């Protein structure tokens, strides 16, 4: 095999993770926001149907969308919440559906921190009282106390324990995209001067403590993945150099998988970070950074964001830039894309294109809501609707989410 003649079968090669779990191929269904919990935040039959569809689609690993660890703090109205075993039967059915075709399946556990919509949650908390700067949609958070920080570490661990008890193969700790753990890492949002902030070493402590607690909760042989920003893409924020410092510390922990991502709600990288010539040539937004990571850690890498062609994915894995390829929104449009890529990586290409409405501050939201519309169709047993426009998605979501928030404010 050479750089000019990559192994076209590499995407179908199994991967053994450090803890012993074996992934049947190199394609991963990455996390997307499903918004398919019931009003009590339990998994639903719709989630089972959706993940059953993806399981049959051929990916070697399925990662769920955000599962919150505290029902008092939600990122979106219909997040699944895992605080305890109250929904264990429903979680078991979800896990069974996701693993039906031999894929591994893990739960992405998360806390929104300051990225809590106003009027949605009982409380908005963060490392420091710094509000999201994208208008009035997000609540003003208050700073966490030391006792509350320790409670949240325990909540991450309990959510992980319950997820594994339900039959999932492990969890992914979400430490990216401006959510709570990412907020602890960033000097823009962590203004603390105690043991949880003040310099890069103390800012990363929360992530390391969560990682250790989760590993203790799930045992040594379950998958422990971490999703981390390469950078926040904000002046004065979390930088690539700081990210490499975090990764160097994670390399000392029993972590099975590191997913590289980037950006926050204030600076969504999938729109602002993907314009370099290298990105256009290699497709993936974070592949160049992943190559820098290789010299810092031996943890297997997952790169998500931007991949469209089997040839690009093959080059990335065969060339050693990443071990796994993450596919998210393309699987909303083509849920069986992994199987097609495994059959014919040299000629298969995703039909997905970013969905924008021409308003920079709303483009990422338009794409998110367009994607959720497709996921809801799949969850209902329908085919995707590629002709559905992003402007329609925005209008429909504003009507739906605005009504839901008003109902919550009125106690309905």
Q: What is the DSSP string of 369-381?
A: HHHHHHHHHHHTT
Where are the extended beta strands (E) located within 318-377? 324-327
Domain contains 133: yes
Mean pLDDT taken over the chain: 89
Length of the chain measured in residues: 412
Instruction: Give the count of domains, the chain.
Output: 1
Residues 249, 212: contact at Cβ < 8 Å? no
Domain of residue 142, residue span: 10-348
Residue 117 lies in a domain: yes
CATH number of domain containing 101:
3.20.20.70
Q: Which residues pair with 79 in a beta bridge?
A: none
Q: Give pLDDT tens digits for 329-386.
A: 999 999 999 999 999 998 999 988 888 777 776 777 788 889 999 999 999 999 999 9
Is residue 409 pLDDT above 60, yes or no? no
Give the 3-state secondary structure of residue 292. helix
* pLDDT at residue 268 tops 60: no
Partnered with residue 62 across adjacent β-strands are 29, 105
Q: Find the range with the poorest average confidence among 67-81, 111-125, 300-314, 352-366.
A: 352-366
State the pLDDT at residue 273: 41
Nearest-5° angle of CA 363, CA 231, CA 357? Answer: 5
Q: Lowest mean pLDDT: which of 33-37, 130-134, 171-175, 245-249? A: 130-134
Q: What whole-number distance in Å separates Cα of residue 266 and Cα of residue 172? A: 23
- Residue 97 domain flag: yes
**What is the C-alpha separation between 341 and 333, in angstroms, rounded?**
14
Asked, for residue 395, whether it belongs to a domain, the answer is no
Take residue 133 and report the two structure tokens written for it.
């700067």
């Amino acid at each position: 095999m050479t750089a000019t003649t990559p192994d076209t079968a590499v995407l179908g090669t199994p991967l053994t993770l450090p803890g012993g779990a074996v992934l049947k191929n190199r394609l991963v269904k990455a996390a997307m926001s499903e918004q398919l919990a019931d009003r009590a935040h339990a998994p639903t039959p719709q989630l089972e149907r959706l993940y059953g569809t993806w399981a049959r689609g051929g990916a070697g690993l399925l990662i769920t969308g955000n599962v919150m660890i505290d029902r008092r703090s939600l990122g979106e109205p219909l997040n699944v919440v895992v605080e305890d075993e109250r929904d264990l039967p429903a979680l078991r059915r979800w896990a069974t559906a996701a693993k039906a075709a031999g894929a591994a399946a893990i739960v992405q556990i998360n806390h929104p921190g300051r990225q809590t919509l106003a009027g949605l949650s009982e409380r908005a908390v963060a490392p420091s009282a710094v509000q999201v700067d994208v208008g009035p949609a997000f609540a003003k958070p208050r700073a966490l106390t030391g006792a509350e920080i320790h409670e949240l570490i325990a909540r991450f661990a309990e959510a992980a324990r319950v997820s594994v008890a339900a039959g999932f193969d492990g969890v992914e700790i979400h430490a990216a995209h401006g959510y709570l753990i990412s907020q602890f890492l960033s000097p823009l949002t962590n203004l603390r001067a105690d043991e949880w902030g003040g310099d890069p070493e103390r800012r990363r402590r929360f992530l390391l403590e969560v990682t250790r607690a989760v590993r203790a909760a799930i045992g040594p042989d379950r998958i422990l993945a971490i999703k981390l920003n390469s950078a926040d893409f904000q002046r004065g924020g979390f930088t690539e150099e700081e990210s490499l410092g975090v990764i160097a510390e994670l390399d000392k922990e029993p972590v099975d998988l590191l997913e590289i991502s980037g950006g926050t709600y204030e600076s969504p990288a999938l729109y602002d970070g993907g314009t370099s010539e290298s990105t256009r040539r290699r497709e993936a937004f974070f592949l160049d950074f992943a190559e820098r990571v290789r010299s810092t850690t031996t943890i297997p890498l997952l790169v998500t964001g931007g991949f469209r062609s089997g040839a690009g994915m093959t080059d990335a894995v065969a060339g050693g830039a990443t071990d796994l390829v993450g596919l998210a929104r393309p699987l909303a449009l083509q849920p069986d894309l992994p199987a097609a890529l495994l059959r014919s990586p040299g000629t298969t290409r995703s039909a997905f294109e970013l969905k924008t409405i021409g308003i920079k501050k709303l483009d990422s939201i338009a794409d998110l809501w367009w994607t959720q519309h497709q996921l809801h169709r799949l969850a209902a047993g329908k085919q995707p609707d590629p002709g559905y426009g992003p402007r329609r998605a925005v209008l429909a979501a504003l009507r739906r989410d605005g009504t839901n928030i008003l109902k919550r404010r009125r106690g309905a």
